[in-house]
Structures are given as structure tokens and as C-alpha cells.
Chains A and B, each alone.
Chain A
Amino acid sequence: MIIAEGLIKEYRSGGRPLRVLDSVDLEVAAEDFVAIVGPSGSGKTTLLGLLAGLDEPTAGRVSLAGHDLSLLTEDERATFRASNVGFVFQTFHLLPTLTALENVMVPAELLGRRESSNGNSARVWAASLLDRVGLADRLDHYPAQLSGGEQQRVALARAFSGEPKILFADEPTGNLDRATGDHVVHLLEALNTDARTTLVLVTHNLSLAARARRVVSLADGRIVPTTESVPE
């Protein structure tokens, strides 16, 4: 489902190139659940950005669901994301001007989709997802009216509403207390199992990483054997 070959990413810092990812090769099978771990500055988020096609590598290539991202323009990658990729962010990133229901409907609307694969209208489908994450009574609330845990649950519903093949999650529990975080992770797993989505998750949280089928450790921009990686 995901193939990354020889990924290198350099930024210019103080006039000199700074290599943040160095020759990363990674393959993720369909419906797999992979956790990417590593200390701060190890290149986790950079790798996630490249895998999701949010950024372009200095060298190497990424193929998602059989599409070579390097061959796509910026807008083609966006269109590709709309139909294939979902996101969950550490800081939730709900659109503040939209209600919970409207936030969940965004992916379907971007696709111009009126119905989900099971025949429900976009609105009913979005409402059912919110019901699924326990927010049936919060449909018309704005993000600012929701707690952190509730916002992240809306974000989960939004991530699955486009019925993506691949879901990227960046520290989904990083801004939540432990109990709330656990609840969100349970939901994430359950939704993932139901939707049979490929899941790539970046985290500091070892116990969260331990739930993945596979753990990839990064240190100084390189993949290291898992045993050597010591997440903080």
C-alpha cells in the first residue's frame, strides 16, 4: 500500500544543507498498522509528511496505493489525498468556523460525493460516524464549544468519513490526558478494523506504539532496529 524508497529530505539551515531524513526505505502492506517512533527531531513528522504527499522529498520516491507521488503535481496530490488519505492531528485541527457535523462532511464535500459507499447521504453518513464516536448530541456544536477529547473524536470521524485507504495520525493523543487518550485510541482501532484502513501513526507514546502490528524507529533521520530505538 505504501512504498518509500531512498527518501532523503534536506532543509537549508544557516546557508548549509541540513539532512533531516537519510535514505529511508519503508514498505507498509494494505490494512497494516505501523507506528513510527523516535525522539524529538528524529524526523518522524517529516517522514509522515512525505509519506502523505504533503511535502516533496529531496531525493527518493513515495508510492501510495500504486500511485507514484513524485509524478503528481501539487493539486493532483491534493485530489489524490481527498479520495485515498485521511488525517488525525495532534492539535485536532478542526475547522473553527464549521460545526462538528460540517467538519465531518468536509471530505465528502471535497469529493463532491453525495453518498457514502453504503448508500447513505453525506449528512447521514457523517452523523452516523459522529454517533459512532459518541457525539450524536454534539452535531451542531462548534469546535470551541467542545472539549479536547471531543474535538479529537470529531477529527477521528472526519478522518474516516472520506472512506480513505490510508490513515495518517500524528500524535493523536499528544494533547489529551491519559484516560481520554485511551478512549480515542480504542475508537481509532475499532474504526480502523471496521474500515480495513492502512494506519500509519507517529507517536512518542510507547504504550500506544505497542498496539501497532509493527514499530518503525527513527533516530537522526535514519531507520534503526526497533530494539535500539528508545522512545522517550
Chain B
Amino acid sequence: MKVGFTGRLAWREGRASYKRLGVYMASITLGVGALVAIHSFQRDVTRALDDESRTLLGADIRISSNRPLSAEFAPVLDSLLAAGAGVARTLTVASMISDLRSDRVRLAQVKGVEPGYPFYGPLETDPPGIWGRVQEGRIAIVDPAVLIQLNAEVGDSLRIGNSTFLLEGTVTGLPTELGLQTAIGARVYVGFPRLAEAGLLGFGTVARYRTNVRLPRQEDQDALWADHEDLFQGVQVSYTTAQGRAEDLTFAVGALSRFLGLVGLAALLLGGIGVASAIHVYVKEKLVTVAILRCLGATQGSVFNAYLLQSAVMGFLGSVLGAGLGVAIQFVLPDLLAEVLPVSVVPRVSWAAVVAGLAIGVWVSSIFAIGPMLDLRGVPPLLALRSDVEPVRRRDLWRWGVNAALVLTLVVLSIFEAPDLATGIAFAGGLIATGLLLWATAAALMRATRRFLPASASYSMRQGVSNLFRPQNQTVAVTLALGFGAFVVGTVMQVEGNLTRQFTLEQGDGRPNVLLFDVQVDQASEVEELLARAALGPIEFTPLVPGRLTGINGEDVETLAERPTAERPDLWALRREYRHTYRTEMSGSEVLVEGTWWPDAPRAGSGLPLVSIEEDLAGSLKVGVGDRLTWNIGGTEMETEIASVRTVDWARFETNFFFVFEPGSLDRAPQTAVMLARIEREDQRARFQRELVDAFPNVSVLDLSNLQNALDTILSRVSQAIRFLGGFSIGAGLIVLAGALATSRYQRLREGALLKTLGARRRLIVKILLAEYVTLGTLASATGLALALGAGWLLIEGLFEFDFEPLVIRLFVAWLVVVALTVGMGMLGSRGVLGRRPLEVLRDAGG
């Protein structure tokens, strides 16, 4: 019988309360918007990756190694060719290039390509149709960035290694490199044999050899691996399929957007607090109405259902608005994140994301609304007769159930949004802990403000502060909500600022900022002399000796590899190519944990050359002090003994090694060197690079400031996205504030009128309002920012392992912004207090 009544009551009540419920609606809108945006965006990226999977590699399969493929591969490639497959090799080295006309020099990735590469992709050249020309002679085609970096023009001559190339044009649409690799340099394409001709493949040069394969049937991407698994695993090559590459990237993008999803979820849950706060007040106002309905014969259930229906409909409308907002943001995100995306993304509305957003929005708003709404069931009909009857607040199963559902919702949504289960649970736990901490901090600050406000403070100050404690105040809810927003944004600011500061420190006074590599032994002293003229301070010289492990304690590596997984050392550690160095002292980034660094006195024992091993690698190889390692270094076998184990801080920008050899032990081994130095001014660095390329075309220079710029861009883009979504939390906090203002509006109108009647001037009332909102904003931001400092410290010291330094100016700016927003919102919500005539208000109050 009650279904019709429930619906009609919900509609009639909602119709009159739409302003109040509008706040409730808006609370949920922002969170839903953030979630819909992020989920849709993720789908856009995944689709783009899927569509472009083959163009990501330019082939179906890519076999990569740091040396040419061994002869064992020849039959495999031959059989592929016989079956109609396409095979094209590429070879990439980092090398200096210079434009002979503009006289500019720059590190670039020089890529030799065989005909046929790339097999797939939207390759376009300018002028059109010149791609095949690189096979015809000393012709180079470059990334458009090269033209800018070298101030070059088509038709210029480019010096690469010992050769001069004609710059024929630019190319776009080739498979891209990701992340920091692009920071090493833009790409220059030449014919495959030209690299060797130009002398770029000298001893020790880091080169990437890739064999790209186009299969007759795409489905066979994994079959080649399966057919020749032993071959691929035996030699150190990596095998990448287009599909696998797309999946990896999808996973990476998924992780990023899921992290963003968590930030969005935080905004949604804040909206939940807004809902709970709005409904709490709404319920308080509806007590008498409910009592009347109960007198007239409405059951607890039908009244409760009517209000629940109302809130669900409002939650739905709020979510619809949110979904619209989300779709709008979805179209902004690709631009915001362009630099960190591997593919270009075309936004398309995702109905799945929209529906999921609507469902989550309705659910979250309902679950947050039900708690305060349960009070409606305990309203005694007697309240219609006498106002002194207290509603019965029952501690019943329903309340426990709702609280449990609330926590469950939090956990389930966190897990749903998080990249993995552990992160999800940690996030949910973190949110609950943060909520409790915020609540405790807010409560403590509020108590302190009230208690320690000096009696000598001005009347307006005292009145403003005590306004925060008026009956039915929402100060804690507002402080929590705004504080949470401040917390999210504050934490991101602290972390980003500290990371940037750390990178800047790495670049700071006296730290090396140019890295020279591929220096041959016979060039070392002359290069050093040249460098010494430009450089400030000492030049760090580090020899590099490539070597492979052949045995451990007399047992052959291949025999070790045959052992069961649990017993054998990790394969990657057994088979990788190492680069060793030798030196007398430990570097600043190393700490000895076991054994001794080189003993001074002549030693007893095996008499073998000594090495020091990095701690984690010792674990992977299952070796320790005293174990013997046999190496193949430059074709010669060499047995060594582990003298010490040490930790290495890989994050430091220094030349770090798994193994350091005893001085003197590698003197005669074939080697190259890297040099680190600091050249202060940009023009000096440019001049040095020109001189170096002229004298030693094979030596490359990495200007670390370029690397830093690339890092900064990525960092600032990601943190921009987080702050953008974190801003939603502030927005949600402001909506809670708006709701609280709407709630106390009537009270404030009356107080204002009373004060005016008693002779207060407009100016005094403005001062009181200012005091109230400045205090509120300060309470909220102090609460959030104090916790942001803690979280920033935890992240920087714990996760990134840098020294944390509070960024006070940023905190101050954040405080200022929160206070300004609170005051702005508060004054906007208090227009009537100043504008309306006292008699009008008091008469309304009496009637």
C-alpha cells in the first residue's frame, strides 16, 4: 500500500528541499566526475595502444641484444625468410652529431636501418617519399627535433663520427622510444652499414642491435619463441612481440590511471562526507514532519523509504552531472599527460565508465546518507505533541550493518581502483587512518582555539570564533573535508617540490653536469686535457671494462644454469654482460657491509685478484666473501676472489657498478672510460662539445641539464594531473562548506539582525564574519597541511630515500589559498546577513 505514498512523499519533500539537497547532489558530482574521467581516459589509452600495437614496434617481433646476433640465429632467420617473413635489422648508438653550417653540436641516437624497416606505422617524411634514400649513401633523415636542436636546415651537412651526411629531410610516425631514453637525444636515421663506416662501433661502444620481423601471420608472434626457446634463452637476447609490448604499456598506463583513480576516489569519499553532513542536518530539520506523519499513521519503514528514495534520486542526479563533467575532463587529460603517453589518444565517450560512475555515485551517496537517516526511524510520534521528547537513537543491527557496509564500500572501491590488492587495502587503511588523524587534529585544534583564545581579543574575534561552536555547527565536518583537500594537494606539493629540489641539488654547485663516454684508452689523456680547460673543479675518471661471468667457485656458468631454479643463481645475473671498474677508494654512494676493502699489506690466502660485489647481486648470484668468480675479459679467462660486499645508492647520479676490481688487476684488459665533470655555463658546454667532436668524433657527451629537463617535464606533468584531481578534493571540501553555510544561514541571519538591533554597524558584522571564516580556513588548512608534512616526510624519506625538507613557502601559499576560498565562499553565503533589514528577519523568526 505504501509504494505510491513513499514515491509521492519523496517527490513532494524533495521538490521543496531542492536547494538543500542540491548541495548534497553537488557533493557527489565532483568525485563521480573524477572517476568517470579517469576510467574513460584509461579506456582511450588502452584502445589507442591496442590499435597501434604493431606500430609501437614497427614489426610483429623484435629481437634485441647488445651485440650482433650470433651465427646460431642464421638458420632461424633463413627459415623465416623462406616462409615469407620480412626481416630488417636496426642498430642504434649514441653519438655526437654536428651541423657544419650552424656549427652546433648535440648528442643524438644514430640509428642505422636496413631496407624494409619499419614494416608498420604511419611513417611520413618531409619532403614526402624520401625514406628509402637513406639506403642510397651518406644520407640522413632526422626527427624534427634535431632541426631545432642543431638549428639545422634540410640540405645541411651533418658530421656523424668520421663521416659527413647530407641532411635530406625529417621523418615522423616511426616507433617511439619512451621515457628517459628520448632524453639521451633525438634520432638520426642512416643506412645500416653507415654506422660502421663512420667509426661509431669502436671498442666498448654501447650499441643496441635489433632484428625486426614481419610475420606472414600475426598470430604466430609467440610461436617463434616457443619453437626456439632454448636458443633465445641461451644467448642474452630479449624477445618482444607487438602484442606483448602493447600489453606492457597498457599495464603501465593502467597503473598510472589507477593511481589517479585513487585520487579521484578520495574526492568521491569526501563527497560522501558532504552527503552525510548535509543529510544529518536535513534529518534534524525533518524530525517534526516525520513525527506528524507517524501520528497520521505512516510506518517507520515508509517514512524511511521515502527519504531514502529521495536521497537515491538526488545521488543519481548528482552522479549524472558528475558523469557529464567527467566526460568533459576526459577530453582535457590527453593534453595534460601528452608527454608521458606512449601513443596519441583520441577521446571517445566510454559508456561503461559512465555507467560504472553512475552506479558508484548512487551507491556511495546512498551509503553515506543512510547512516544519519537511520535516526528517522527513531522519531517518536509524540514529538508532534511535545517538543521536549528526544528522538530515540538506537544502537541496532541496522546501524552496525550500515557502518560495516560503509567500511566495506571503502575497501572494495579502493581495491577496485588500486593497481593491486595490497595497494588497495593499504589505501583504504591509509584513508581511514588519515580520516581519524584529521578528525583528531581538527578536534584538538578546535579545542585549543576555544581554550586559548585570549579574553583580551577583540569582540569581533571572540564572537567570530564562538560562532564556530554554535549549536548544530558543522565545523568538524567542514574542517575534515577542507582539511582533506588541503592534505592531498599539500602532500603532492611537498613530494614534487622535494623531488625537484633533489634533482636540482644533483645539478647544484660543484656537481658534475657533463658525462663523456666511449673514451678510448689512447684518447684519455688528450680528452682530459681538453676537458680540463673548460671544466670547473676535478674531473672524475672512471675506466670501464666489459666482462662476462664464466664460472663460480670453479663450476661452469652453463652447468650452474642447468640446476633446479631454487638452487641456482638467477639466470640474468649469470648471463648478463657486466661493466667493471677498478679504483682505490670507495665512492660516496657506497657503504661496506661485509669483508674488507683492499687490504694495505701483502695478503695471505689464494693470492687471486680481489673484487667487491654489490649486496643485492651477491644475493642473486648466491655468493659471499671468499667465493671465487671466473671472468671472460676481452677473451682472456681471469679468476677473482670476493673480498667485500657493499651497498650502492643507485639513485645518486654517479657511475655505479655491481663489481669493483682491485687496482692494478685490470690494467691490461681492453677498456674505455667515462669522465664526469662540471662545465658551468651553457655556452661553455656547447663550445666544449664542438671542440671535442672535432678532435674525437667517437667520444659522446651527455649534457645532464638536458636529462634534467626531461625528468622535470615528466615529473611536473604527472604531478599536474594529480594536483588537478587533488583540486577536486578541495572543491568537494568547499561544497561541504557551502552546505554547512546553508544550514546555519537562518541562525546567522537572526544573529546578524539581533546584533544590528542592538546597534552593531555593518562593519562590525563584516569583521565578525571574517574572523569566523579566517579561523575556519586556518583550522582546516592547518589540519590538512600538518598531515601533508608528515605524509611528505614519510614518502620522501621512506619511498624515495632522500632528505626531506619542508617547503614552507608552498605551505604558506596553500594556507592562503584555503583561507581565501573559505572566506570567499563564506562571505558569498552570508550576503543576506548584511543586506536584510533586522525587523524583516526578526518578524520572520517570530512568525
Enumerate chain A interface residues (CB-CB to B < 8 A): 45, 48-49, 52, 54-55, 74-75, 78-83, 85, 87, 89, 93, 95-98, 102, 106-107, 109-112, 142, 158, 162, 170
What CA separation (Å) do A87 and B293 show in the bound complex?
A: 11
Inter-chain contact A45/B386, CB cutoff 8 Å: yes
Assuming the contacts A95-B289, A112-B4, asked whether A78 and B299 have C-beta atoms less than 8 A apart, the reply is yes
Assuming the contacts A93-B288, A96-B289, asked whether A45 and B385 have C-beta atoms less than 8 A apart, the reply is yes
* B294 located at the interface, meaning its Cβ lies under 8 Å from any Cβ of chain A in the complex: yes
Would you give the shortest CB distance from B104 to chain A, in whole angstroms?
A: 76
Inter-chain contact B297/A109, CB cutoff 8 Å: no
Inter-chain contact A81/B385, CB cutoff 8 Å: no
Contact with A along B733-774 (1 / 0, CB 8 A): 000000000000000000000000000000000000000000
Contacts of B297 in A (CB 8 A): 78-83, 85, 107, 110-111, 162
Would you list which residues of chain B between 296 and 346 have a CB under 8 Å from chain A?
296-302
6 A-B pairs whose Cβ atoms sit less than 8 Å apart in the complex: A78-B297, A81-B295, A87-B295, A93-B288, A107-B297, A162-B297
How large, as a class, is the contact surface on chain B? 20 to 34
Contacts of A89 in B (CB 8 A): 292, 384-385
Contacts of A80 in B (CB 8 A): 297
* B382 located at the interface, meaning its Cβ lies under 8 Å from any Cβ of chain A in the complex: yes
Assuming the contacts A55-B382, A89-B385, asked whether A112 and B2 have C-beta atoms less than 8 A apart, the reply is yes
* B17 located at the interface, meaning its Cβ lies under 8 Å from any Cβ of chain A in the complex: yes
What CA separation (Å) do A45 and B295 show in the bound complex?
A: 14
Contact with A along B1-26 (1 / 0, CB 8 A): 11011001000110111000000000
Assuming the contacts A54-B381, A96-B289, A97-B15, asked whether A75 and B299 have C-beta atoms less than 8 A apart, the reply is yes
What CA separation (Å) do A81 and B15 show in the bound complex?
A: 27
Enumerate chain B interface residues (CB-CB to A < 8 A): 1-2, 4-5, 8, 12-13, 15-17, 288-289, 292-302, 380-382, 384-386
Inter-chain contact B301/A75, CB cutoff 8 Å: yes
Would you give the shortest CB distance from A202 to chain B, in whole angstroms?
A: 9
Would you give the shortest CB distance from A164 to chain B, in whole angstroms?
A: 9
Would you give the shortest CB distance from B301 to chain A, in whole angstroms?
A: 7
What CA separation (Å) do A78 and B380 show in the bound complex?
A: 11
What CA separation (Å) do A67 and B529 show in the bound complex?
A: 111
What CA separation (Å) do A15 and B92 show in the bound complex?
A: 89
What CA separation (Å) do A90 and B292 show in the bound complex?
A: 12
What CA separation (Å) do A119 and B544 show in the bound complex?
A: 104
Contact of A98 among B2, B12, B300, B385 (CB under 8 A): B12
Inter-chain contact A82/B13, CB cutoff 8 Å: no
Contacts of B12 in A (CB 8 A): 95, 97-98, 102
Contact of A112 among B1, B300, B385 (CB under 8 A): B1
Contact of B294 among A78, A102, A109, A158 (CB under 8 A): A78
Contacts of B289 in A (CB 8 A): 95-97
Would you give the shortest CB distance from A73 to chain B, in whole angstroms?
A: 10
Inter-chain contact A48/B381, CB cutoff 8 Å: no
Query: B15, B293, B295, B386 — which one has the most chain A CB atoms within 10 A of its CB?
Result: B295
Contacts of A93 in B (CB 8 A): 288, 292, 295, 384
Inter-chain contact B17/A79, CB cutoff 8 Å: no
Would you give the shortest CB distance from B24 to chain A, in whole angstroms?
A: 16
Inter-chain contact B382/A81, CB cutoff 8 Å: no
In this complex, what residue of B is CB-closest to A161?
A: B296
In this complex, what residue of A is CB-closest to B8?
A: A109
Contacts of A54 in B (CB 8 A): 294-295, 380-382, 384-385
What CA separation (Å) do A2 and B837 show in the bound complex?
A: 52
What CA separation (Å) do A96 and B12 show in the bound complex?
A: 10
Contact of B385 among A74, A79, A111, A170 (CB under 8 A): A170
What CA separation (Å) do A106 and B5 show in the bound complex?
A: 8
Would you give the shortest CB distance from B811 to chain A, in whole angstroms?
A: 46
Contacts of A162 in B (CB 8 A): 296-297
Would you give the shortest CB distance from B341 to chain A, in whole angstroms?
A: 51
Contacts of A79 in B (CB 8 A): 297, 299
In this complex, what residue of A is CB-closest to B1?
A: A112
Would you give the shortest CB distance from A40 to chain B, in whole angstroms?
A: 12
Contacts of A97 in B (CB 8 A): 12-13, 15-17, 289
Contacts of A87 in B (CB 8 A): 295-296, 384
Would you give the shortest CB distance from A156 to chain B, in whole angstroms?
A: 14
What CA separation (Å) do A106 and B292 show in the bound complex?
A: 11
Query: B8, B300, B385 — which one has the most chain A CB atoms within 10 A of its CB?
Result: B385
Inter-chain contact B381/A78, CB cutoff 8 Å: yes
Contacts of B1 in A (CB 8 A): 111-112
Contacts of A106 in B (CB 8 A): 293, 296
In this complex, what residue of A is CB-closest to B285?
A: A96
What CA separation (Å) do A222 and B297 show in the bound complex?
A: 29
Inter-chain contact B292/A110, CB cutoff 8 Å: no
